Structure 1
Amino acid sequence: MGATAAAAIRRGRKFGQVLQGAREVFLRDGFEGASVDDIARAAGVSKATLYAYFPDKKILFFEVVRTECQRQAELAVDRIDEAAPPEKVLKTVAWRFVPFVLSDFARRIFRICLAEADRFPELGRVFYESGPALGHAHLATYLRAAAARGELRIEDFDLAAAQFSELCKAHVWTRSAFGVQTEFSQDELTRVIDGAVGTFLARYGV
């Protein structure tokens, strides 16, 4: 979200209430289908209160996406023990990343951004910068530290981080995104995550 959009947001006592109501309506109706009346009703506030916090629906959508993605990224980072062996760290990261990208929230937001890509390309950019790009940066930072300790052999850290993310989505992401399969068992996720970590370490492990 740009500095102008961020500056337009006014925080207050009912800020979180408005965000929760907006999250519910956006996920249910999409960006275009979500009306300010419905968001205000779901949040239990007046339209005047909603506009006092968020003068524009796009800014409200940006903040819903940013808040959820940042929360997920912080949860993932908090669980990383950088002193642990790479296999353990990568599995921890994957077990935070994979369930999130397969979540109802991520799947619906992705579809909204894709549907609005031509008219509002900034929606997709905000989602990417708040979610995938943030996680990518955190992972690349860890990989640099692990390589410096001699635990991994990597030259292009950004590429390696992107490759690990893609390995973690193998088999499950496209099936989820297209609605072919929306629920995955623990065994299915274990298969994908163990395969991703094993493949990654086969390429970059020492």
Structure 2
Amino acid sequence: MDVESNKPEIRKGRKFDQVLEGARAVFLRDGFEGASVDDIAREAGVSKATLYSYFPDKRLLFMEVAKCECARQADEAAALIEPEQMPVAEVLRFAAERMIEYMSSPFALQTYRLCVAEADRFPQLGHEFYHSGPEVVRRHMVDYLGKAVAKGELRIDDLELAADQFAELCKVDIHNRLIFGVSGCCNPRDRDRIIDGAVEMFLARYGVR
């Protein structure tokens, strides 16, 4: 059976944004498993019938909220970066802080786990989330690196590879500990150590001496 041809679809209407705002509040408060459709409808000020008319599956609603949340944080980060006024090391540190802040949030962890858990049943969910979330961050990073290269601040031949490498450097140790629920993760000292190492290693490879 073709999974794509039987996937639930999102329908938009007058109260679509209202439903998303209510869902965002409930998901951030209660998580995916703890959030009930009744609570979401109540928070959004709509009937369950209206909610289901837009989102026939709670997973679709969660993923739509997750996509919007990730895109919002990406846009905020891009707006705060001022390449013309900040040294490269400071921009990289800021980017690393935002990546780790989002990566370690309960909402991001729930999103990641849901994408993995539903990969077989709803493969389009992870695909759509990636292109409206992580890929947005990646494009911002590639754009910034290109400007830094043009100004002679960095020396990079493959901007996409460099952006991916920096993102991976920021995940060192943290991502696996979070996913597997290892205790003692993500205290300020650990975050600073990983950020320092990511920035220093990246500049050692791509910095202009």
TM-score (norm 2): 0.84
Cα–Cα, structure 1 residues 25 and 86, in superposed 2: closer, same or farther, change >3 Å? closer
Q: Are 1:120 and 2:122 an aligned pair?
A: yes
Residue 24 (structure 1) shift: 4.8
- Structure-2 residue corresponding to 1:164: 166
Matches of residues 1-206 of structure 1 in structure 2 within 5 Å? 8-12=11-15, 14-20=18-24, 23-24=27-28, 27-29=31-33, 36-37=37-38, 39-41=40-42, 43-52=44-53, 54-57=54-57, 58-83=59-84, 84-181=86-183, 183-206=185-208
Separation (CA, whole Å) in 2 of partners of 1:183 and 1:42: 33
Task: Give the CA RMSD over aligned residues.
Answer: 2.5
Shift of residue 119 of structure 1? 0.9
Superposed CA offset, 1:116-137 (max 9, x none):
1111111211221122111011
Residue-by-residue CA offset, 1:52-100 (whole Å, 9 max, x unaligned): 4x14325423321111111111121122111121101101111111111
Contact in 2 for aligned 1:25/1:42 (Cα 8 Å): no
Q: Assess, with a 3 A threshold, how the Cα gap between structure 1 residues 25 and 41 changes in structure 2: closer, same or farther.
A: farther
* Larger deviation, residues 191-200 vs 179-188: 179-188
Q: Is the contact between residue 62 and residue 123 of structure 1 (CA under 8 Å) also seen in structure 2?
A: yes
Going from structure 1 to structure 2, the CA distance change for 1:118 and 1:190 (only over 3 Å counts) comes to same
Question: Structure 1 residues 8-17 or 99-108, which shifts more?
Answer: 8-17
Contact residue 23 and residue 43 of structure 2 kept, 8 A: no
Contact 2:177/2:183 (<8 A) preserved:
yes
- Aligned mates of 2:202, 2:156 — CA distance in 1: 11
Q: Give percent identity, aligned residues only.
A: 46
Residue 36 of structure 1 and its aligned partner are, at CA, apart by 3.9
CA-CA distance at 1:26 after TM superposition: 7.9
TM-score by length of 1: 0.85
2:181 maps to a residue whose letter is G
Q: Which moved more, 1:182-191 or 1:141-150?
A: 182-191
Q: Which amino acid aligns with 1:103?
A: S
Offset, 1:40: 2.5
**Distance in 2 between residues matched to 1:46 and 1:173, nearest whole Å:** 38
- Structure 1 residue 15 displacement after superposition: 3.4
Aligned-partner Cα distance in 1 for 2:68–2:55: 18
In 2, are the aligned partners of 1:22 and 1:39 still within 8 Å (CA)?
yes
Change in 2 beyond 3 A, CA 1:142/1:102 = same
